[in-house]
A and B are shown apart, each in its own frame.
Chain A
Amino acid sequence: MIARRGGVLVNLVWLGTLGAAAPQIWPFLNGPDWMRVLGLLAVAAPALIGFVLMPRMDRPFERFALAIVWTGFASVVAILGGGITGIGVLAFLLAPAVAAAGGERDGVVKGAALSGFAAVTIAILQAGGFIQPAPMAVEIYLPFVTGCALMMAAGFGLGALRAMREGDRVREEAERGRIRVRAFDAAPVALLACDQDGNMLAASQGLRELSPGLPRDLTGLPVADLGFGDDDRADLASAARRAAIRPLSQGLTLRGDRGREEDVRLNARPMHGGSVAILSHDAGPALENRVREAEAARELAEEESRAKSQFLASVSHELRTPLNAIVGFSDVMKARLFGPLPARYAEYADLIHESGQHLMELIGDVLDMSKIEADRYELVLERFDIDEAVGLAVKMMRLQAEESGITLSVKRNDTPVPVKGDRKALRQILLNLLSNAVKFTPKGGAIVVMARPSGGQLVLAVGDSGVGIDPEDARRLGQPYSQASNARDIEKRGTGLGLSLVRALAELHGGQMNIASSKGVGTTVTVSLPILDKGETQVEPLAGGETVSAELDVRGQIERAQAASENISKAQSGAA
């Protein structure tokens, strides 16, 4: 584009000078007018031909043709106008000037060489006397010199300007190239460029991190040197050759740190004269390893779980066998099966029996908790009426409550409430809650049990007028193997598993347990379970208010029960 504009300018300069000088030249030219016009056209010819050739100036042949045209013109001028020693020799500078305007360095050289050759030829011919040039006429002396000078100024000026700009461009290009080199070097990945024979051309710092201990200058070294074993070396060499033709992706093993193998993935694509590749840690083998490890760990865990289960079964058996003798024989004594016992011994027999029973319950709790923790507790879902289950549990605890002087009352539902759950687990929840309540409620206290549908769930609530629990302790309760410290009577210690078991069994059913307690007033434990049997599963979220209302209900009931029992004892003492 610039070459064309430069060409236009020099040609216009030539034609302009010729036009301006035409009136002066005209009288000098001899012959008829058409001869004169022809003469002027001959002088204008190189510029006119330049206009014709201009659209193709980017091709070497056209550029050469133009140089020939100007050199030819210069030769004619030199022969006709004073020879090699005359002023006409200036015309030999026009061909290089035109080439310079076109911005072609090699064009300038070629033009100069061509002009020089022509000039030398003419000089030889002149010296040999083959041509005798006439000195240039005075009339055209000035226009000729002016035209040549303007042409050279325009041509070489443009050329110089262009050379300057070209220089800037080259410098910019070089700077950009350096930036690219630095970017390639600093890329946070392992980059590697190779020629088509598999010799390394450049590598990023990342490659050194991937494969430490590489020589400082990798250029020219075979890419195979990065490989770990002989097979990997061969793979690398073949990959580099193939990548020069088409993109590829494959796994390889490199020499890693301290002679370790480094599994990498190579993604490469062709570039001019070779290929460029990115090497990355191959997650594949590592991932497979991890999956294998996880699999092995899972199998081991399952094996351990089976062993644990087996162990629990045998522990259970081993503990129950001697307990059977303890509870059985003491039960025989308690039943006075073989006649009366002396009073003290009778009491001891009762204590042995009671302790044996307690021990049995504890063993049951520990085993159940272990099973839940080992995820081996399986719920057996049955349909039944919750009041029936509550009634049964209360029946089992009533005697114990009465013996401790505690009023145990049940708030029954008006209509049966069918539920679908594990009957044994629910009984265990109720028994644990009731037994806790009995344990921690002093004589004259009251316990109320309630099971009612609320907010789409079954809410079990057991409230007592017992010693209560510190809020701090309440938070810890329900965590296995922890027990409220201060509130507990030393005589009444348990394993701390009762509430944990309740919570775990509730959670197995998808429910939850809440403890509301204030010291000296009593404790209410509510368990909400999504086990209402409505024919279809329809679980609505339980609003927080529902448990609270259940608690309030139970508390009200306890107050009434307590008032009643106080009245009764007052009446009794009054009667006595």
Chain B
Amino acid sequence: MLQVMPKKVLIVEDNELNMKLFNDLLEAHGYETLQTKDGFKALELAREHTPDLILMDIQLPEVSGLEVTKWLKDDESLSAIPVVAVTAFAMKGDEERIREGGCEAYLSKPITVTTFIETVRQFLD
């Protein structure tokens, strides 16, 4: 059997429960995860590990997830990594704002297991 390197997903999320939820869901589907609740740390981790996908919470304590996404997209070595925004900003116009910010996809909280996994697979399989 051919051993395939598991895909790495960087989760940027400041809520511990949600972090655990995403982590468990991803691990259950055979993905490896990297975790941080800090936007600056996210950039470092991305440079260091080059993940295959980044799940980005938009409302982070220090710096907005949109801002971090912008830095990622401005960095040539990182701009190819797809960013999926996961946010509770579910007001009208939020989705457009997030897509304009450079995110490839958008998941609104609360997530459902099915759409979450479908969205992740879309970028990793």
Residues of chain A whose beta carbon lies under 8 Å from any beta carbon of chain B: 312-313, 316-317, 319-329, 331-332, 334-335, 337-338, 356, 360, 364, 367, 377-378, 380, 424
Contacts and interface: CB of A to CB of B under 8 A. Distances in A.
Interface of B: 15, 17-18, 21, 24-25, 28, 59, 88-92, 108-114, 116
A323 B112 contact: no
Given A328-B21, A329-B21, A332-B21, A321 B90 contact: no
Contact of A332 (B17, B89, B110, B113): B113
A70 B18 CA distance: 133
A324 B92 contact: no
A330 B67 CA distance: 32
A319 B108 CA distance: 13
Contact of B18 (A312, A319, A328, A332): A328
Given A321-B15, A324-B109, A360-B110, A378 B89 contact: no
Nearest to A424: B92
9 contacts: A316-B90, A320-B110, A323-B110, A324-B109, A325-B21, A327-B112, A329-B21, A335-B113, A338-B28
Interface residues of A: mostly helix, strand, loop or mixed? helix
Contacts of A319: 88
A324 B110 contact: yes
Given A316-B90, A332-B24, A337-B25, A322 B17 contact: yes
B90 A328 contact: no
A334 B24 CA distance: 14
B92 A378 contact: yes
Contact of B110 (A313, A326, A367, A377): A326
A316 B88 contact: yes
Contact of B90 (A320, A332, A335, A377): A320
A320 B109 contact: yes
7 A-B pairs closest in CB distance: A320-B88, A325-B17, A327-B110, A324-B109, A324-B110, A331-B113, A328-B21
Given A332-B21, A332-B24, A325 B15 contact: yes
Contacts of A323: 109-110
Contacts of B108: 320
A360 B116 CA distance: 17
Given A329-B21, A332-B21, A338-B28, A321 B89 contact: no
A340 to B, nearest CB: 14
Nearest to A329: B21
A327 to B, nearest CB: 4
B28 A337 contact: yes
Contacts of B111: 324, 327-328, 331
B22 to A, nearest CB: 8
Contacts of A378: 92
Nearest to A364: B90
